Amino acid sequence: MPELAEVEYYRKQWLPALNQTVTSVHLNSDKRVFRGLDCAALKQNLVHEKFIESLVHGKQLCLRFGDSHWLGVHLGMTGRMQVLQAGELPAKHDHLIIRMDSNLSLVFSDARMFGRILYSNHYLQPDWWAHRPPEILSPEYNFERVDAYFNRRTKSPVKAVLLVQEFFPGVGNWMADEILWRSRILPFRKCGKINMRERIELYKRIREVSEDAIRVIGSDWGRPPENWLFNHRWKSGGICPQTGKPLSRAKVGGRTSCWSPSWQS
DNA sequence: CTATTTGTTTATCC
DNA sequence: AGGATAAACAAATA
């Protein structure tokens, strides 16, 4: 389920082991989450290194060890991160276990294995961390960028474009539906047909939903207020919190989308 | 047994 | 060349 705020929530789960040192790394290199990775290098080189920094950018996590070890974690659809106390045993889908000198263990789990582990041992930033688009809540993000993104995808449904990570880092399926619902714009509208007033509204709601998600979910995975679309969109039979009328669901841009026909146009 | 899932990559067509 | 679309990946859940 990880989007912007859920990824931040999971980043925090490893913080109890910050400034501790790796004693061993356990993994099964056959698992799909390690595709393309030099698992032997990860297992050997991370030992004796200190966990010094924990960063997040959109849905991408970057964990730094020592002065040249970069561990990337992408949570995919069902990825999770947690810390195991001494004596606690790994579970079925725990694919990467990093034991620390405190006897805590950092654990990455992922049932569906759409997630991915990345690793680089170099003083310079690896490509997967160096090449990042501006984050939605950063100072360099602005309306002109968003306007330009829509102009590059004029024939795509706006829902599909909101899911492009290069444009809207961290936005996932529920955030995109929430943004469109708050902007009162239907998900299948083509970007080229969205006028300036609507684009300005979308830009504001993109930032608003990102802030709200971080505040409500990113800290302790709290349940969002009932006046968000969030709590009503998951199952069919949901009701629009604005109009009290039924919500609609259908695939838009390849993803199940939920909208309120009595509210969005 | 069938259909569905909060994500990304790859192939293919335009 | 770049945009648009669908399939593939894998396991749990309803």
Residues A169-176 have a mean pLDDT of 96
Residues A185-206 have a mean pLDDT of 97
Measure, in angstroms, how far nucleotide B6 C1' is from residue A103 CA. Answer: 32
Check whether residue A6 has its CB closer than 7 Å to nucleic acid strand B: yes
Measure, in angstroms, how far nucleotide B6 C1' is from residue A102 CA. Answer: 33
List the one residue out of A150, A180, A154, A183 whose CA is nearest residue A167.
A150
Annotated domain spans of chain A: 4-130, 143-259
Residue A99 has pLDDT above 70, yes or no: yes
CATH class of A143-259: mainly alpha
Give A252's pLDDT tier (boundaries 50, 70, 90). Answer: very high
Within a 10 A sphere around the Cβ of A23, how many other Cβ atoms?
Answer: 15
Give A222's pLDDT tier (boundaries 50, 70, 90). Answer: confident
CATH class of A4-130: alpha beta
Of A112-126, A134-148, A157-171, A221-235, the least confident: A221-235
- As a whole number of angstroms, the distance between CA A70 and CA A21 comes to 15
Residue A177 has pLDDT above 90, yes or no: yes
Nucleotides of chain C touched by protein CB (<7 A) = 2-12
Long-range pairs for A214-220 at CB < 8 Å and ≥24 separation?
Answer: A214/A4, A214/A5, A214/A8, A214/A137, A216/A5, A217/A5, A217/A6, A217/A9, A218/A4, A218/A5, A218/A6, A218/A8, A218/A9, A219/A9, A219/A12, A220/A9
pLDDT at A118: 97
- As a whole number of angstroms, the distance between CA A109 and CA A94 comes to 4
